[in-house]
Amino acid sequence: MSSNDPKLLDLDIPTTPEDIRALEENRPKLGSDWLEQLTKLSKQIPNVEEVRRRRKTFAGCEPFEL
């Protein structure tokens, strides 16, 4: 089903041209410093160091070849 499906029209959120303009103006822009932006975003995660320590790894798994 696509959003053009007549059955879904009642479920669509009404969007005005002003809404679209505001979304476009405030959309995050990725530039040449995307890695810097990603680093800043990761620092916004609460207790990011703890999350990194607890994430699953593949330690002990059999190696594989591509």
Summarize pLDDT for 10-26 with one digit per residue, the tens: 677 888 899 989 988 88
CB contact set of 51 (below 8 Å; sequence gap of 6+): 45
pLDDT at 21 (0 to 100): 92
The DSSP symbol for 46 reads T
pLDDT at 4 (0 to 100): 66
CB contact set of 48 (below 8 Å; sequence gap of 6+): 42
* Confidence (pTM): 0.33
pLDDT under 50 in the chain at which residues? 1
